[in-house]
Chains A and B, each alone.
Chain A
Amino acid sequence: MAKNGKRLNRSVQVDIAIIVVLCVFAAFMVMPLIFAIASSFKPMSEIFIFPPKFFPMKPTFQNYRDLFSLMSNSWVPFSRYGFNTIFITLAGTAGHIVFASMCAYPLALKKFPGGKGFFNLILLALMFSGAVTTVPNYMTMAKLGWVDTYWPVIAPYLASPLGLFLMKPFIEQNVPISLIESAQTEGVSEWQIFWRIVMPLVKPAWLTLIVFSVQNLWSMGNSMYIYDEQLKTLNFAMSQIVSGGIARAGVGSAVSVIMMSVPIAVFVIAQTNVVETMATSGIKE
Chain B
Amino acid sequence: MIALLGRKLQLNLKEIRKNYSCYLFMAPFALCFFAFVILPVFIAIYYSFTYFDILEAPVFIGMKNYIRLFFEDGLFLTALKNTLLIAVITGPLGYLLCLIVAWLINELPPFMRAIVTLCFYAPAIANVYFIWSIIFSGDQYGYINSILLNLDLISSPIQFLEDKAYIMPIAIFIIIWVSLGTSFLSFIAGLQGVDRTLFEAGAVDGIRNRWQELWFITLPSIRGQLLFAAVMSITGSFTVGGVITGLFGDPATTDYAAWTLAQHLEDYGGVRFDMGYACAIATVMFILMFGCNSAVQKLLRKVGT
Contacts and interface: CB of A to CB of B under 8 A. Distances in A.
Nearest to A32: B131
A279 B294 CA distance: 23
| Category for how many chain B residues contact A | 35 or more
12 contacts: A9-B207, A25-B101, A29-B122, A32-B132, A122-B33, A136-B43, A138-B275, A275-B117, A275-B188, A275-B192, A282-B186, A283-B228
A76 interface: no
Contacts of A279: 189-190, 192-193
Given A9-B207, A158-B29, A132 B131 contact: no
Given A129-B239, A271-B118, A276-B189, 19 more contacts: A23-B116, A32-B131, A99-B29, A113-B15, A131-B262, A132-B282, A135-B275, A137-B36, A156-B32, A190-B25, A246-B141, A255-B130, A264-B126, A267-B118, A267-B121, A277-B189, A278-B225, A282-B223, A285-B224
A133 B36 contact: yes
B155 to A, nearest CB: 15
A231 interface: no
Given A106-B26, A190-B25, A260 B19 contact: no
B203 interface: yes
Interface in A8-42: 8-10, 14-15, 18-19, 21-23, 25-27, 29-30, 32-33, 35-36, 39
Nearest to B196: A1
Given A32-B123, A158-B32, A212-B182, A132 B41 contact: yes
A227 to B, nearest CB: 11
A142 B270 CA distance: 13
The 4 closest A-B pairs by CB, nearest first: A282-B224, A159-B32, A278-B189, A133-B40
B200 A137 contact: no
Contacts of A255: 130
A8 B203 contact: yes
B123 A102 contact: no
Contacts of B208: 9
Contact of A22 (B108, B146, B279): B108
Interface stretch (B61-69, B70-78, B284-292): B284-292
A21 B30 CA distance: 46
Contacts of A32: 123, 131-132, 135, 177
A25 B120 CA distance: 8
Contacts of B180: 29
Interface centre among B139, B141, B262, B275 (most CB of A within 10 A): B141
Contacts of A239: 246
A25 B143 CA distance: 19
B33 A125 contact: yes
A149 interface: no
A36 B269 CA distance: 34
A115 interface: yes
A136 B38 CA distance: 11
Interface string B14-51: 01101101110110111111011111110110010000
Nearest to A258: B128
A177 interface: no
Interface stretch (A48-56, A66-74, A81-89): A48-56
A133 B114 contact: no
Nearest to A126: B231
A144 B125 CA distance: 32
A146 to B, nearest CB: 11
A107 interface: yes
A162 interface: yes
A100 B29 contact: yes
Contact of A126 (B193, B232, B294): B232
A224 interface: yes
A268 B121 CA distance: 11
A136 B126 contact: no
Interface string A138-171: 1110100000000000011011011011000000
Interface centre among B131, B150, B297 (most CB of A within 10 A): B131
Given A2-B200, A272-B114, A284-B224, A22 B104 contact: yes
B210 interface: yes
A36 B209 CA distance: 41
